[in-house]
Structure 1
Amino acid sequence: MASYNSNYLRLLSHTKLLASHVNQGRHEQALALFHHMHTSIALTLDPFVFPLALKSCAAIQHPQLGTAIHGHVVKSSFLENPFVACALVDMYGKCVSISLARKLFDEIPQRNVVVWNAMISLYAHSNHVADALELFESMDVVPNASTFNTIVAGLSGLDEGSFRALKFYRQMRELGLKPNLITLLALLPACVGVAALNLIKEIHGYSIRNDIDPHPHLRSGLVEAYGRCGSLINASNTFRSINERDVVAWSSLISAYALHGEAKTALEIFRQMEMAKIQPDGITFLGVLKACSHAGLADEALEYFARMRKDYGLEASSDHYSCLVDVLSRAGRLYEAYEVIRDMPVKVTAKAWGALLGACRTYGEVELAEIAGQALFEIEPDNAANYVLLARIYASVGRHEEAQRMRTEMNERGVKAAPGSSWVVYQD
């Protein structure tokens, strides 16, 4: 009896240390400890150990050990434990493949809502939202808030998914499920997608009434959402209510003012951020460069672009280069913009070429327009806007044969211009 108690206490102590390693991101140490526990003759592992080890396998992409643990789980008849089953499904989805995760999911004898959520989450986070929805519809257990959170987040990330995300949120409320922090964070992008300012205010009020409001991620998300929906006053007020403003909060406010052409204010906020000793990141500088672009501040944009690496050691992404090309193009400095594109150390995107092509029409620059147009035809051959824009540039300088050739090429490639459309949100 004393030996049993001693072994139990040793297992408990090891399990606590294992959990500490996993929760603190020390996954190599966690798996080394798991190996020691597994090979110890004196210890008989219980179901609480395996989800921890599987979580570390998923975190550091260790599928061989994960599949070996799967074999031990089956031999020990632990697959019926929902937490073990959930961890296995998650590990397969993140380390091996979604299809094998689904195969395992289908073989689990007793699936509670936690196991269902694991598979739905894998689909949603892998951009297989249609599969997540199909699995949701086939659930044989009652979904919980986490189920809806995953679906709402997945739909919010789709181009046309905002309305469907809001529909799922209403369905969640009809079932009497209470939204939590994750729900609100998932819902905000959907609100922005349909410019539902009233719903953003509703979310804000709900968060205050339910004591979720102090969370910094939510307040930063509200700053961004208010800004994107045009309510700079609410964005600014929410920002000022944040006691400890991190880089996300500052960047959200800078982007809000930049989006609405308030360049001077955006750049002043950036100056205040630097004075507050908050280290800007790449997203911060995207907001700064967009502010310069809207205000035509080409020289300032070049200066900030240089400071990214010089002062903060940040490498410019294709989005940063696209913003720089845009600001130079808007200012009429088309050949400087073209030089930036030619010297880009990262992949040139359609955004950069599109900014140059659009400016070529404004300034009547045909030679560069042809170069930009040909590049865009290769990157996005089915985008009719590029053909139409180049045709208009030709027509504007009297080169009607080339304009007609663009229209003919569109027809030959089967490229069709999308019809115009609009939508209206009706709110009570």
Structure 2
Amino acid sequence: MYTQNRAPKNYKTMGSFSSNFLRLLSQTKLLTSHVNKGQHKQALSLFHQIHSTLSLSLDPFVFPLALKSCAALNSPQLGATIHAYTYKAAFASNPFVACALVDMYGKCVSLTYARQLFDETPERNVVVWNAMISLYARENDIGSALELFRAMNVAVAPNSSTFNAIIAGLAETEDGFSKAVSCYREMGKMGLRPNLITVLALLRACIGKADLNLIEQIHGYSIRNDIDPDPQLRSGLIEAYGRCGCLEKAHQVFVSMRERDVVAWSSLISVYALHGQAGPALEVFKQMEKANVKPDGITFLGVLKACSHAGLADEAQMYFSRMRVRYGVEANSDHYACLIDVLSRAGRLHQAYDVIRKMPVKVTAKAWGALLASCRTYGEVELAEIAGRALFEVEPENAANFVILARIYASNGRFEEAERLRREMIKRGMKSAPGSSWVVHQD
């Protein structure tokens, strides 16, 4: 009787364990799906349900998913609570959990706290190192990222993700373009293959260096390795070629795309606008509308810049109105600056000033500067004084504003006011910078 009574009890226990395990597996898959889709509130709600209802111990890979959602929602308190759970479950030293904790604290609390946690982590694999390096690069602390990268080489071999973070960080700095390219070369020497993230980061460095040869190398590499079809890369190539003045190649990349999203259309419009090609830029915009691709704020910024370069004041006003009325795109400071620039260039100074007075967003130095520069062209002293005073407050260290207003005064015979501004510049220790230009030569 004893043996007969034990068998059903064991089967029941095993069945309960199996049922819990299958539930955990199913809900972990659902949790992963929520996180990958950016459904972070649903993910955290599900994590709470898993943690509170299942009697089975949680898998260590459940915690990084929940911590990723905490970072996305900027929820440090909830992240700290989950951190406490990892200690209770003895998972805090797990490299993948440690990586997620470092990332969460770096994004939601501070780099200092994240670095402290990183230093205290006993088992640091390449993923943990990459998390801390990426945080530094993300916050533009490229010096600390490079320092940690050098220390990492002693402890753990870097991988492609490590180099991607460093290249991306360097590409965002004014003097880091050449260093980013050197880092890319070093990556190749270590036998690591560049991927989509690598080439996207490297393209930004190429634009900064105006390195057409390297852009072509990246383009060729992407074709050979089947990265080329990616629409994000194609749009990046359009911008890179366009900014280097190769408008024909930029157009060829655009034409070769089977599906063109708003980024691709906007990229081509922007590069035409950059080079003063208003006709082609506006024609591309018309084609975009015919293709039923909804333009966004970046699209209209390119359109307005094209109008500004060509002096198309009426067209600029029309597109500015269409942006808000037809497409529901709210104008930001850059859009207003473009409109003010084109109106000012056309001599509609009072109309431009009226736009400034009615702007629902902050008036930037670009907007006031456009008005001031055109006041000099058209000899408008009264508005020049208004724009000048505003600029002295917005950017008090910019000597160019003092110089322009002084020259406007002098051109109108108001030499005392001009001299007063020059004395003010001397008092502030300001010097007008000499003009300069640069040309990139390609063999």
The TM-score, its normalising length taken from structure 2, stands at 0.92
Question: Is the counterpart of residue 122 in structure 1 residue 135 in structure 2?
Answer: yes
Asked if 2 retains the 8 angstrom alpha-carbon contact of 1:37 and 1:43, the reply is no
Question: Is the counterpart of residue 377 in structure 1 residue 392 in structure 2?
Answer: yes
Quote how far apart the aligned CAs of 1:123 are: 1.7
Give the counterpart of 1:300 among 300, 310, 315: 315
Distance 1:170 1:399 in 2: 59
Question: Is the counterpart of residue 314 in structure 1 residue 329 in structure 2?
Answer: yes
Question: Is the counterpart of residue 5 in structure 1 residue 18 in structure 2?
Answer: yes
Q: Secondary structure at the match of 1:46?
A: coil
Give the counterpart of 1:18 among 22, 26, 31: 31
| Equivalent position amino acid for 1:144 in 2 | N
- Equivalent residue, structure 2, for 1:79: 92
| Alignment gaps of 5+ in structure 1 | none
Quote how far apart the aligned CAs of 1:12 are: 1.1
Quote how far apart the aligned CAs of 1:251 are: 0.5
Distance 1:425 1:326, change over 3 A: closer
Distance 2:442 2:347 in 1: 42
Quote how far apart the aligned CAs of 1:172 are: 2.2
Q: Give matches, 1:231-250, under 5 Å.
A: 231-250=246-265
- Equivalent residue, structure 1, for 2:351: 336
- Equivalent residue, structure 1, for 2:5: none
Distance 1:408 1:171, change over 3 A: farther
Quote how far apart the aligned CAs of 1:145 are: 1.5
CA RMSD across the alignment: 1.8
| Equivalent position amino acid for 1:388 in 2 | V
- Equivalent residue, structure 2, for 1:101: 114
- Equivalent residue, structure 2, for 1:181: 196
Asked if 1 retains the 8 angstrom alpha-carbon contact of 2:341 and 2:367, the reply is yes
Question: Is the counterpart of residue 356 in structure 1 residue 371 in structure 2?
Answer: yes
Distance 1:395 1:203 in 2: 53
Give the counterpart of 2:296 among 275, 278, 281: 281
Distance 2:316 2:366 in 1: 17
Give the counterpart of 1:112 among 116, 125, 141: 125
Distance 2:372 2:348 in 1: 13
Comparing 416-425 with 123-132, greater Cα deviation is found at 416-425
- Equivalent residue, structure 1, for 2:6: none
| Equivalent position amino acid for 1:381 in 2 | P
Quote how far apart the aligned CAs of 1:170 are: 2.4
Quote how far apart the aligned CAs of 1:41 are: 5.1
CA shift digits 1:8-51 (9 cap, x unpaired): 22221121111112112222221122112112252211201101
Q: Which has the larger radius of gyration?
A: 2
Distance 2:414 2:130 in 1: 60
How many residues align? The count is 428
Comparing 60-69 with 5-14, greater Cα deviation is found at 5-14
- Equivalent residue, structure 2, for 1:326: 341
Distance 2:431 2:189 in 1: 42
Question: Is the counterpart of residue 33 in structure 1 residue 35 in structure 2?
Answer: no
Among all aligned residue pairs of Structure 1 and Structure 2, give the percentage whose two residues are the same amino acid: 71
CA shift digits 1:381-400 (9 cap, x unpaired): 11122222222222333333
Distance 1:72 1:423 in 2: 58
Distance 1:133 1:408, change over 3 A: farther
- Equivalent residue, structure 1, for 2:83: 70
CA shift digits 1:254-302 (9 cap, x unpaired): 1111111111111111011000000000000001000100110000100
Distance 1:309 1:420 in 2: 39
| Alignment gaps of 5+ in structure 2 | 1-13
Distance 2:431 2:136 in 1: 32
Comparing 209-218 with 415-424, greater Cα deviation is found at 415-424
- Equivalent residue, structure 2, for 1:191: 206
CA shift digits 1:92-123 (9 cap, x unpaired): 12222222112211111111111111111112
| Equivalent position amino acid for 1:37 in 2 | I
Comparing 104-113 with 212-221, greater Cα deviation is found at 104-113
Q: Give matches, 1:149-188, under 5 Å.
A: 149-188=164-203
Distance 2:163 2:400 in 1: 37
Give the counterpart of 1:256 among 271, 274, 293: 271
Distance 1:332 1:372 in 2: 15
Quote how far apart the aligned CAs of 1:424 are: 6.7
Q: Secondary structure at the match of 1:312?
A: coil
Quote how far apart the aligned CAs of 1:129 are: 2.5
Give the counterpart of 2:424 among 409, 424, 428: 409
Asked if 1 retains the 8 angstrom alpha-carbon contact of 2:114 and 2:132, the reply is yes
Quote how far apart the aligned CAs of 1:134 are: 2.5
Distance 1:366 1:16, change over 3 A: same
Comparing 63-72 with 286-295, greater Cα deviation is found at 63-72
Q: Secondary structure at the match of 1:402?
A: helix
Quote how far apart the aligned CAs of 1:412 are: 1.4
| Equivalent position amino acid for 1:53 in 2 | A
Quote how far apart the aligned CAs of 1:402 are: 2.4
Give the counterpart of 1:210 among 206, 225, 228: 225
Distance 2:150 2:439 in 1: 29
| Equivalent position amino acid for 2:371 in 1 | L
Comparing 29-38 with 313-322, greater Cα deviation is found at 29-38
Quote how far apart the aligned CAs of 1:427 are: 6.8
Distance 2:434 2:58 in 1: 63
Comparing 231-240 with 104-113, greater Cα deviation is found at 104-113
- Equivalent residue, structure 1, for 2:145: 132
Comparing 22-31 with 266-275, greater Cα deviation is found at 22-31
Comparing 340-349 with 105-114, greater Cα deviation is found at 105-114
Distance 1:97 1:34 in 2: 25
Quote how far apart the aligned CAs of 1:420 are: 5.5
Comparing 398-407 with 142-151, greater Cα deviation is found at 398-407
Distance 1:126 1:181, change over 3 A: same
Comparing 309-318 with 404-413, greater Cα deviation is found at 404-413
The TM-score, its normalising length taken from structure 1, stands at 0.95
Quote how far apart the aligned CAs of 1:422 are: 5.9
